[in-house]
Amino acid sequence: MQAIVLAAGDSSRFWPLNKRHKSLIKVMGKPLIWYVIDGIVKAGIDEVIIIQKPEMIVEEELKLYEFPNCKISYVMQTEAKGMGNALWQAKDFIKDSFLVLNADMVECSEVFSQLIEKMKESGAKAVLAGQKTNMPELFGMAKMEGERIIEIVEKPKKGEEPSDIKMSGAYLLSKDFFDIYEKVEKGTYDFETALSIYMKDNDVRVAILKEKETDIPFLKYPWHLFSIEKYLFDKLLESKIESTAKIAKNVVIEGNVYIGENVKVFENTTIKGPCYIGPNTIIGNNSLIREYTNLENNVLVGAMVEITRSNFQEGANTHSGFFGDSVIGKDSKFGAGNITGNIRIDRGEVRSIVKEEKIGTGINSFGIVVGENTKVGINCSFMPGIMIGSDCLIGPGSVVFENINDSTTFYTKFEGIKKESK
């Protein structure tokens, strides 16, 4: 059996972390797509076809890793024309039944096993992975007739959903699906159209993921990275301090903590796991790193910084300040004294603006998300749920209440304080 991994989309809802495909965001030193391929291999599948964009960034990244028990091929989707068009690019490589999944489904081995088991026991022509959800407005929802799925209703309003089962981005299809797809009118949702037609003429089932799998995270918006990181930390993080790391004598390390090669941790710092500290990272004096923090390669954390439940990508730098529930993109740099507000003053749900629409995040602790190569001056403050694009400049002393687009220079203009003589 073969697996097709979809890694060619624009990841537009993942802005500002979509300068590259979202599956290339790193956790514990590896891109998310690495965990996907590892799960495919664990499911006993040894042939993977990856659909990527013409820039071939995914292929270039994966050249850094070895998958000795898996043959990986790459197919190009020249334009972002949806999932159906992406699959169509791979049709000549498909031999028989094949699995399809998104490039961010970091734990797929158990999912695939359940899909294959369902096909064997039911004799169905296709099986789709389903999970229960209370957020139908974000997903394609299953309309059921007995054990068969007969339709996928895209993003219904709450109260109008046909069931509480969402499609989870994993499909086990037969090659004859392409015979239907070839005939449908082409558009963004032509995959769903073809699948609906296929359901009418064939026995298609849903494998509702077993209870232990219902917490498998998905990655649609940037804040979903927090749940993926937690999932991977809880499942895979192992305590270890590499022999080349230099840890000052009075550093406190508690819990499950990985410290990579050539890391330097200076005096009076405390690290409370679970935490991942990547190779060549430097953590200055009197800092506190705690609770599901992920610092990738070559991160610089200056003196007197507190970081909690956050992800710093490669080359990100900061000095004194507080970063809570935040994601800092590759090579972005912060001056001293920066503070992220990660909880609303009324302690309510944090809402963010995505594609000019205000969206509830479903979480009460959420700081900021920053793209790549953004520079921030000293003593800036950021309100909860703010997104800041790539290649931005933010002036010192700024207070940021709204999203900042890519390649923007932003500063808060303060009127001079008038002094009067007595």
Say if residue 292 is in the same domain as residue 330.
yes
pLDDT at position 374 over 60:
yes
pTM of the model: 0.89
The Cα 119–Cα 411 span in angstroms is 58
Between these two residues, 93 and 109, which has the higher pLDDT value?
93
Residue 398, in any domain of the structure: yes
Residue 118 shares a structural domain with residue 253: no
- Tell me whether residue 415 is in a domain: no
Residue 419 buriedness (CB in 10 A; 0-12 / 13-18 / 19+):
exposed
Domain count, the chain: 2
* Domain-located, residue 84: yes
pLDDT at 389 over 80: yes
Query: Contact 250/268 with Cβ under 8 angstroms?
Result: yes
pLDDT at site 410: 95
The CATH number of residue 277's host domain is: 2.160.10.10
Residue 23 lies in a domain: yes
| Cβ neighbourhood burial of 211 (10 Å; 0-12, 13-18, 19+) | exposed
Q: What is the pLDDT of residue 378?
A: 96
Across 258-286, average pLDDT: 98
Domain-embedded: residue 216: yes
Which domain, by its residues, includes 104? 2-220
190 and 262 assigned to the same domain = no
**59 belongs to a structural domain:** yes
pLDDT for 421:
45
Q: pLDDT tens-digit profile of 214-264?
A: 456 678 899 999 999 999 999 999 999 999 999 999 999 999 999 999 999
**pLDDT-based confidence at 105, cuts 50/70/90?**
confident
Q: What's the mean pLDDT in 364-368?
A: 97
Residue 422's pLDDT band (cuts 50, 70, 90): very low
Report the mean per-residue pLDDT for the chain: 90
Distance between first and last Cα of the chain: 86
CATH classification of the domain holding 23? 3.90.550.10
What confidence score (pLDDT) does residue 418 get? 47
pLDDT digits (tens, 9 = 90+) for 21-49: 999 999 999 999 999 999 888 888 889 99
pLDDT value for 240: 97
pLDDT of residue 417: 47
**Domain identity same for 173 and 107:** yes
Is the same domain home to 245 and 213? no
Reply yes or no on whether the pLDDT at 420 is more than 80: no
Residue-wise DSSP of 36-55: HHHHHHHTT--EEEEEE-TT
Strand partners, 115: none
- Based on the domain organization, do 123 and 265 belong to the same domain? no
Last residue of one domain, picked from the residues 220, 251, 283 = 220
- pLDDT for res 414: 65
> Do 154 and 25 share a structural domain?
yes
pLDDT at 189: 82
Could you please report the per-residue DSSP string of 250-305?
T-EEESSEEE-TT-EE-TT-EEESSEEE-TT-EE-TT-EEESSEEE-TT-EE-SSE
Is the same domain home to 387 and 274? yes
Q: What share of the chain is helix, strand, coil (3-state, %, to 5)?
A: 20, 30, 50
* pLDDT tier, 419 (very low <50, low <70, confident <90, very high otherwise): very low
Say whether both 200 and 308 belong to one domain.
no
pLDDT at 270: 98
State the pLDDT at residue 215.
58
Are residue 337 and residue 212 in the same domain, yes or no?
no
Backbone angles phi, psi at 173, to 5 degrees: -120, 160
